[in-house]
Amino acid sequence: MTLDSRNKLILSQFVVAVLFIIVTAVVFVLAILNNSLVFPESSQRLFSLPALPLLAPNMFAALLSAIILVLYSAVMLGISLVNFEKTRSLEIIYFVCFSLGCLFEGIRIWLPVFNFWEDNSALYVFVGHGLFFGRALAIVNLLALSLLSLELENNQNIEMNLLVVVTLAALLARLIPIESLVIPSSCSIRFGYEKMFLSMSVITLLVGFLSMICQSENQGSGEYTPVAIGFLLLSFGYLSLTQADCFFVFGLGTILLTIGSIIFLVNLHRFHVWK
């Protein structure tokens, strides 16, 4: 993949993100003005938390987490396009695809607007698969970023790698069952085996982090270590925001995602400039 084709790919994703944000913002504001936002009267938490004020379930905090991830997607795509326009970096390709996965969290904003929870229609299941596809796309791209980016031979296989990543995410989304009778407190849709998916995601991200550290040491690139640290922080910030149903988790996820992304992008740019 040439720099020009890569930059066109990032630009197209940025345009899609901006258009999605505009449409979602208009629909959401109209729903507020018409007082047509519908939130479920009862919901179920995935994990039990202590009965403390900041840990109490709050659908508004969950909705804010989705808004943050959608805005984050567009901002990261824009920053990647501007700051890495002339920088050859495999990591940034997987990172922008991860950012695109974050954009799918916007589906959670549409749920109370159109009250998809009201029935168990085929549309509800389709929307659920779409949301899970975004999460699978994000996690698989983070794994690819950590395992493949420093391998020189992958420069020739980037298109095939991306095809495999998207196909794997689509396959997982197609196979995952949707629990239509349960409304999660995270303003989302409940998937089957969700705890297992989260556990595997955590293990995957930790393995990815350790892989980046090992690759850094094996290639004598100690300056790559901060990139790995930023990767770990932003990864767990992302996971926290996808599950946030209280203000504490929302705040923690936002902080981790913001700080991690800054550390990751700044040091990644330095690494490739110095290299």
What is the pLDDT, as a whole number, of residue 116? 86
What is the pLDDT, as a whole number, of residue 168? 94
Compare 112 and 118 and report the one with higher pLDDT: 112
User: What's the whole-model pTM score?
Assistant: 0.93
Q: Mind listing the pLDDT tens digit for each residue in 211-257?
A: 888 887 776 667 788 999 999 999 999 999 999 999 999 999 999 99
The per-residue pLDDT of the chain, averaged, comes to 89
Q: Mind listing the pLDDT tens digit for each residue in 10-57?
A: 999 999 999 999 999 999 999 999 988 988 888 889 888 887 889 999
What is the pLDDT, as a whole number, of residue 89? 80
Q: Mind listing the pLDDT tens digit for each residue in 115-142?
A: 888 776 788 899 999 999 999 999 999 9
DSSP string, the chain: --HHHHHHHHHHHHHHHHHHHHHHHHHHHHHHHTT-----S--B-SS---S-GGGS--HHHHHHHHHHHHHHHHHHHHHHHHHTTT---HHHHHHHHHHHHHHGGGHHHHHHHHTGGGS--HHHHHHHHHHHHHHHHHHHHHHHHHHHTT-GGGGGSHHHHHHHHHHHHHHHHHHS-B-TT--BTTTS-PBTTHHHHHHHHHHHHHHHHHHHHHHHHHTT-GGGHHHHHHHHHHHHHHHHHHH--SHHHHHHHHHHHHHHHHHHHHHHHHHHHH-
pLDDT band at 101 (very low <50, low <70, confident <90, very high): very high
